[in-house]
Structure 1
Amino acid sequence: MLALLASHGESAAANEKASSIVLVHGAFVDGSGWKAVYDLLSQDGYEVLVAQHATATLEGDMAAVTSVIDAAKFPVLLVGHSYGGMIISQAGVNPKVKSLVYVAAYAPETGESVAKLAQVAAQPGESRAPLLPPRDGYRMVDPAKFPAAFAADVPQSTTRFMAASQVPWGLAAVQAEVREVAWKVKPTAYLVATQDRMIPPSVQRMMAKRSGARTIELASSHAVMLSHPREVAAFIETADVAVSPNP
């Protein structure tokens, strides 16, 4: 029995990767949406940490994510979905972060905010988030339109709950401008969701191109980590291989 336990321990140690992955969620949701991706990456030997931030202010969210980065055991691949891209763009300047991965996410230029990026012209036929008017300093997606807009390729039993359990998005976070962006100095990868109805795919392509990101496209809704977790996990792992030195 002791020999078996030792063998299992050696196998687990051999499978351990020398990178940590920090997953950063976007607006209207929390970190639980990363669960399937978390499971896959963990099974492949990564330390995977999931940030939980309030999406009330960009400064507060960056502080929360920075605390997770600081807790990581290894150099960090910082992964952001949607509004999470705003957070990782500036939090990624942390010297512990070795690479950025955007998943259907905002990848701002210095001085840009979500509000400014929302003014970028979309292509004919593309859609933007069906947001309700601001209330008490926060924004929400119209619950009736949430399933089709956010996650059309996810079971409705899931998307109806997501619509009912939305996390309000602070106007302070929407309007905040990033002061510096890590993609200018660190390797960057971008996954474009071509069926996205929250952030137009053409805007995603523009942000990916100007950031010099290694880019792939996937026929998915905005909630790509829910509908295509294996592809997302594989993309993140490929980003790690691209920046890790050869043994």
Structure 2
Amino acid sequence: MSNSTLGAPATGGPALSVVLVHGAFVDGSGWQKVYDELVDRGFEVLVGQHSTASLEGDVATVERLIAAASHPVFLVGHSYGGAIITEAGNHPRVRALAYIAAFVPDAGESVAALNEAPEGPGETKAPLRPPQDGYLLVDPARFPEAFAADVEPATTRFLAAAQLPWAIAAAVAPLTRAAWQTKPSFYLVASADRMIPPTAQRRMAQRAGAKITEIDSSHAVMMSHPQEVAAFIAAAASTVTSTEGGDEQ
């Protein structure tokens, strides 16, 4: 089952539709403030709700949103959502990709493989509990600090309690094609991230040839800095439309 939230663009607004793709452990509601900012800027915005039970199923959910969009698509992925958009971004309607503190796999590579790279000095990775029935969760006691240290405590407590279990099958699934090989990409590094080490973010972004921007933020950058994230997306989308032009399907 998949759902989407659709914001109608203003007349004469941007000629790209934005598709926002969430990562593991949370759902599409984490994008709400970014969604509001982008809609106010005139974008059509679609927000995916995928199960994180399989990479193939999550990609299919996003591909349905791409097909439903009114304009060519700018795909935006957070965390594990970066793997989803890297695969789904091969859709012909996708013009570019934006990674928000996200994994950027290559063809034949999985998120799990990327996560095996050592972290830099003073950095940490996600404090995961041992797998249970094929699914992963972040240790709830450590979730607030690890995932969203700069988000209000009441929200982080709820996020920790309401985690969406992430299937190991999705984490270990290799990609078949990497859209960043042929399409423009942009990366917003969260320099205070304690889930995906910032050095790993920079390394993946550089390998993909992405235009890199940095922000002093936790992993939950779309929640703690929604105005800045929306501005990053809007600026990147503007670059794409000014370079390619048109509203062809």
Q: Report the TM-score range of the alignment, normalised by the length of the smaller protein.
A: over 0.9
Structure 1 segments unaligned to the other structure (5+ residues):
1-10
Secondary structure of 1:222's aligned partner: coil
Runs of 4+ in 1 over 4 A off after TM superposition: none
Task: Write out per-residue CA displacement over residues 45-79 of structure 1, whole angstroms, 9 at most, x where no aligned residue.
Answer: 10000000000000000000100110000000000
Shift, 1:122, TM fit: 1.1
Matches within 5 A, 1:122-137: 122-137=119-134
Q: Distance in 1 between matches of 2:65 and 2:107?
A: 23
Matched, 1:23 2:38: no
Query: Which residue pairs with 1:151 in the alignment?
Result: 148
The number of residue pairs the alignment matches comes to: 236
| Identical columns (%) | 59
Matched, 1:194 2:191: yes
Question: Counterpart amino acid of 1:66?
Answer: E
Matches within 5 A, 1:1-247: 12-14=10-12, 16-245=13-242
Question: Counterpart amino acid of 2:141?
Answer: A
Structure 2 segments unaligned to the other structure (5+ residues):
1-8
Q: Distance in 2 between matches of 1:35 and 1:219?
A: 20
Secondary structure of 1:191's aligned partner: strand
Query: Which residue pairs with 1:7 in the alignment?
Result: none
TM-score normalized by structure 2? 0.93
- Bigger-Rg structure (1/2): 1
Question: Counterpart amino acid of 2:11?
Answer: A
Task: Write out per-residue CA displacement over residues 160-187 of structure 1, whole angstroms, 9 at most, x where no aligned residue.
Answer: 0000000000011011010110001001
Secondary structure of 1:98's aligned partner: strand
Sort the Cα spacing of 1:191 and 1:117 in 2 relative to 1 into closer, same or farther, 3 A: same
Q: Distance in 2 between matches of 1:138 and 1:80?
A: 21
Aligned CA-pair RMSD? 1.1
Question: Counterpart amino acid of 1:177?
Answer: P
TM-score normalized by structure 1? 0.94
Shift, 1:12, TM fit: 3.9
